[in-house]
């Protein structure tokens, strides 16, 4: 496998509230490799977006990274632990945008409505590179051209509200890529777009990745998008990675009951009622973060849960290969007598 750009180990991000501590990210471990796309997938409330924001140290107050490592390899071969940086420090501000760029579901979250896109692009480029205004403008035009904005020089004077949703997302990508980051974090960037615009944006991200060799971390709840774009996948549930693997591991050999349930809930073209295969919805709701169940976090919704074990003891990750692992007692060789125990509890 290609080399590791970002190595996240045991990341924990918590929100201290009056009602209690919310463990939004609870010991997450994964790697992001150069030239590859890691999709982080899970339902709303699984902690995917907070994981992404933790990497850039942009978790809103009262959230805080409290434990773990996020080792980023720099182009000069040095390494920095992002978890150790003060969210307001110069060092993390230099990393944001230059080494790691992020695009969001709603471009207006990052674009200023009162400045032209040209002014915003030029400012971003000059913040990270010592270039003249003219040079920055030329780079901005090249960036817009690269994301296939028609008439890029004329568009420099446009305000975000003058562009369609798809165009705004392209401008966001242009802005993210203007400083040639090593890692692009995309947080549900196509969720608000219609399907054909979504396909265009996914093609564009893939093309730019082939061209630049950047790593992409793509956050989504849409398994169709995962199948389309991922090399590697991490499935998250209640702040934990419950299964990780290559896209083939996850789609052809899913091991965790949650992953299996997510895959079972995708409608398939051509499937007929007579075939007898019903869509399997993941029943129940993600528990409230302040009412986390003990033991395996998924046991309140799991059809295979073993009473007396799954509600008491948290499963450890079992590795099936160098790329594939899942956190479930049923897949743990140390729990080989589980089927007998399960029968005994019936």
Per CB under 6 A, the segment of 138-146, 228-236, 269-277, 326-334 that binds ligand SF4 is 326-334
Per CB under 6 A, the list member of 68, 245, 254, 315 interacting with ligand SF4 is 315
Nearer residue to ligand SF4 within complex by CB, 102 or 310: 310
CB of 135 to ligand SF4, least distance (A): 55
* 236 near ligand SF4, rule: CB under 6 A: no
Helix (H, G, I), strand (E, B) or coil at 66: strand
* 42 near ligand SF4, rule: CB under 6 A: no
* 239 near ligand SF4, rule: CB under 6 A: no
CB of 322 to ligand SF4, least distance (A): 22
Residue 289: other Cβ atoms inside 10 A: 19
* 310 near ligand SF4, rule: CB under 6 A: yes
Residues 6+ apart with CB under 8 A from 158: 116, 117, 118
CB of 246 to ligand SF4, least distance (A): 21
CB of 277 to ligand SF4, least distance (A): 22
Per CB under 6 A, the list member of 45, 257, 289, 325 interacting with ligand SF4 is 257
Nearer residue to ligand SF4 within complex by CB, 150 or 333: 333
Nearer residue to ligand SF4 within complex by CB, 94 or 283: 283
Backbone angles phi, psi at 151, to 5 degrees: 55, 55
What b-and-e string marks burial along 139-156, b requiring 16 or more CB atoms within 10 Å of the CB?
bbbebbebbebeebeebb
Per CB under 6 A, the list member of 23, 36, 96, 329 interacting with ligand SF4 is 329
# residues near ligand SF4 by CB under 6 A: 14
Nearer residue to ligand SF4 within complex by CB, 201 or 328: 328
CB of 155 within 8 A of CB of 149?
yes
Cα separation, 30 vs 9, in Å, equals: 7
CB of 207 to ligand SF4, least distance (A): 38
* 185 near ligand SF4, rule: CB under 6 A: no
CB of 172 within 8 A of CB of 165?
no
Q: If you ran DSSP here, which 8-state letter would residue 2 be given?
A: P
* 214 near ligand SF4, rule: CB under 6 A: no
**Cα 343–Cα 263–Cα 301 angle in degrees, nearest 5:** 45
Per CB under 6 A, the segment of 104-112, 134-142, 191-199, 324-332 that binds ligand SF4 is 324-332
Query: Could you tell me the CA-to-CA distances from 47 to 17, 181, 236, 239, 309 in Å, in that order?
Result: 17, 24, 7, 5, 25
* 83 near ligand SF4, rule: CB under 6 A: no
Q: Indicate the helix (H) or strand (E) that contains 118.
A: helix 117-128
* 238 near ligand SF4, rule: CB under 6 A: no
* 330 near ligand SF4, rule: CB under 6 A: yes
- The region, left, alpha or beta by phi > 0 then psi within -120 to 50, assigned to residue 61 is beta
Per CB under 6 A, the list member of 118, 296, 318, 325 interacting with ligand SF4 is 296
Which pairing describes strands 183-187 and 240-246: parallel, antiparallel, or unpaired? unpaired
* 235 near ligand SF4, rule: CB under 6 A: no
Q: Residue 41 corresponds to which tokens in the numbers above?
A: 């997938």
Sheet holding 4-17, edge to edge: 20-33, 4-17, 63-73, 79-81
> Contact residues for ligand SF4 (CB under 6 A)?
256-257, 296, 298-299, 302, 304-306, 310, 315, 328-330
């Amino acid at each position: 496998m290609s080399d590791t750009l970002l190595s996240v180990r045991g990341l924990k991000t918590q929100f201290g509230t009056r009602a209690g501590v919310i463990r939004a990210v609870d010991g997450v471990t994964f790697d992001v490799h150069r030239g590859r796309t890691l999709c982080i997938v899970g339902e709303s409330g699984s902690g995917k977006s907070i994981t992404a924001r933790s990497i850039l140290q942009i978790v809103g107050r009262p959230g805080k990274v409290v434990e773990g490592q996020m080792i980023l390899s720099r182009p000069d071969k040095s390494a920095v632990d992002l978890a150790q940086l003060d969210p307001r420090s110069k060092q993390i501000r230099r990393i944001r945008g230059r080494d790691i760029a992020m695009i969001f579901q709603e471009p207006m979250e990052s674009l200023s409505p009162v400045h032209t896109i040209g002014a915003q692009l030029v400012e971003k480029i000059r913040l990270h590179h010592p270039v003249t205004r003219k040079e920055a403008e030329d780079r901005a035009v090249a960036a817009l051209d690269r994301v296939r904005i028609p008439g890029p020089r004329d568009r420099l004077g446009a305000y975000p509200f003058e562009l369609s949703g798809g165009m705004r997302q392209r401008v966001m990508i242009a802005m993210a890529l203007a400083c040639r980051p090593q890692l692009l974090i995309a947080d549900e960037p196509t969720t608000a777009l219609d399907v054909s615009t979504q396909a265009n944006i996914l093609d564009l991200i893939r093309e730019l990745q082939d061209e630049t060799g950047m790593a992409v971390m793509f956050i989504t709840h849409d398994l169709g998008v995962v199948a389309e774009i991922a090399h590697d996948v991490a499935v998250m549930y209640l702040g934990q990675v419950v299964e990780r693997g290559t896209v083939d591991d996850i789609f052809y050999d899913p091991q965790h009951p949650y992953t299996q349930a997510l895959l079972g809930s995708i409608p398939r073209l051509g499937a007929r009622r007579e075939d007898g295969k019903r869509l399997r919805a993941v029943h129940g709701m993600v528990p409230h973060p302040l009412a986390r169940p003990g033991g395996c976090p998924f046991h309140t919704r799991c059809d295979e849960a073993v009473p007396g074990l799954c509600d008491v003891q948290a499963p450890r990750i079992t590795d099936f290969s160098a790329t594939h692992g899942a956190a479930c007692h049923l897949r743990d060789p140390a729990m080989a007598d589980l089927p007998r125990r399960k029968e005994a509890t019936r």
